[in-house]
Amino acid sequence: MPYLNITEVESAVAGLAAAYPGTTQLITLPEPSIEGRTAHALQIGAPAPVPKDCVMLIGGVHAREWGSCEILVHFAADLLEAYQSGTGLGYGGTSFTAGQVKALLQRLNLVVFPLVNPDGRLYSQTVDPMWRKNRNPANSGGSSNPDCIGVDINRNYDFLFDFTTAFAPTATPQVSTNPCDQQVYEGPRAFSEPETRNVRWLLDQHPRTRWLVDVHSYSQDMLYNWGDDDNQSIDPSMNFRNARYDGKRGLPGDAAYAEYIPKDDADSALELATAFCQGVQGVRGTAYKPLTGFHLYPTSGTSDDYVFSRHFVDPAQGKVLGFTVEWGKKFHPLWAEMEQIVLDVDAGLVQFCVATAGPAQPPAPPQP
């Protein structure tokens, strides 16, 4: 099949909720997009007598990264079908037993939000294939330049949003204050966009969320916290909230600043990112790399760093480790290749979820 359009993505989510009423809940996001579209997410999990931890997976954030929606729709469908039929899951050379699938849905809730940015995806699929942002015209200043429409949703979260103050003058974070920056305009303020507010609402509605995975393309990486600077686990005072370090962040390998992360969190994040990569590689040998977001390029206002930062800003918030998948080597692979990428990444995501229970276990070998 070809890539899904926005109506088909929404229909797929609603269809899964209707087909598996005992293990799903359809979630209507509270804020429509700028163009008036209502988005939906799907909660997946077996009924349980006690609250369960949650893995949240979001996609379709950057409009041109078409395959992210398909990855998450197929991920949800695969798990639901396998759980209901009592079978395992096979993705090429990576497989999971029926017991693993059953334990996964009994142990965890999964919240799957495949299409965060419907307006942008529609524009990308019908007008400009390389469109990245949403379609908010509010800050375009009335310019006739169409590049001045829209905000990069994955720079609009409340993490070091004032990057011009937070980062060193010679740092090069991939973010902009210019509305006419076609790629990485952060917006006028954190959470100015309904799309990011919907993700924040989902987190607030699921306080037992412990892991968030944001599915993007491309570079064949699994990124984890932090994205603003190198990590360090020695000096807790050297952190994103400490204004004493303003103007020093974002330079690799220097002694002036490195972002604090507790060692247990750093170890857990690397372990889970590695488990994802092992699951991917088992399918057909494709190698993904686990690395911190900063080692791709420095950023601010991203979903993965925002979710992890919430606990440090307000200890009453549960701690959420943040991850970003960067699938593939193109934004729009030919569909025959995208089908294979879907299998790769879904195997990695299932392995990631299995690994959240404890030390990562290698995927089961393929059945003869």
Residues 6+ apart with CB under 8 A from 75: 57, 112, 345, 346, 349, 350
pLDDT score for 304: 98
Superfamily in which the 6-355 domain is placed by CATH: Zn peptidases (3.40.630.10)
C-beta atoms surrounding 28 within 10 Å: 8
Q: Is the pLDDT of residue 101 over 60?
A: yes
- For every residue of 252-314, DSSP letters joined together read TT-SS--EE--HHHHHHHHHHHHHHHHHHHHHHS---EEEEGGGT---SS-HHHHHHHHHHH-
**Structure token pair of residue 1:** 């099949």
pLDDT score for 139: 82
Q: Is the pLDDT of residue 192 over 90?
A: yes
Is the pTM value of this prediction over 0.85?
Answer: yes
pLDDT score for 59: 98
Average pLDDT over residues 7-15: 98
pLDDT score for 140: 79
pLDDT score for 10: 98
Spell out the domain ranges in the chain.
Answer: 6-355
Average pLDDT over residues 98-112: 96
pLDDT interval class at 31 (50, 70, 90): very high
- The Cα–Cα gap between 153 and 68 comes to 15
pLDDT score for 44: 98
pLDDT score for 357: 73
Pick the closest to residue 259 from 287, 286, 288, 224 (CA basis): 224
Pick the closest to residue 53 from 360, 363, 362, 353 (CA basis): 353
- Check if the beta carbon of residue 55 is closer than 8 Å to that of residue 110: yes
Report the percentage of the chain scoring pLDDT > 70: 96
Task: Write down the mean pLDDT value for the chain.
Answer: 95
pLDDT score for 142: 63
302-311 core/surface letters (b: 16 or more CB in 10 A; e: else): bbbbbbbbbe
Pick the closest to residue 114 from 300, 349, 279, 288 (CA basis): 349
As a three-state string, the secondary structure of 180-223 is: CCCCCECCCCCCCCHHHHHHHHHHHHCCCEEEEEEEECCCCEEE
- Check if the beta carbon of residue 262 is closer than 8 Å to that of residue 233: yes
- The Cα–Cα gap between 301 and 162 comes to 9
- The Cα–Cα gap between 215 and 19 comes to 25
Q: Is the pLDDT of residue 108 over 80?
A: yes
What count of residues does the chain have? 368
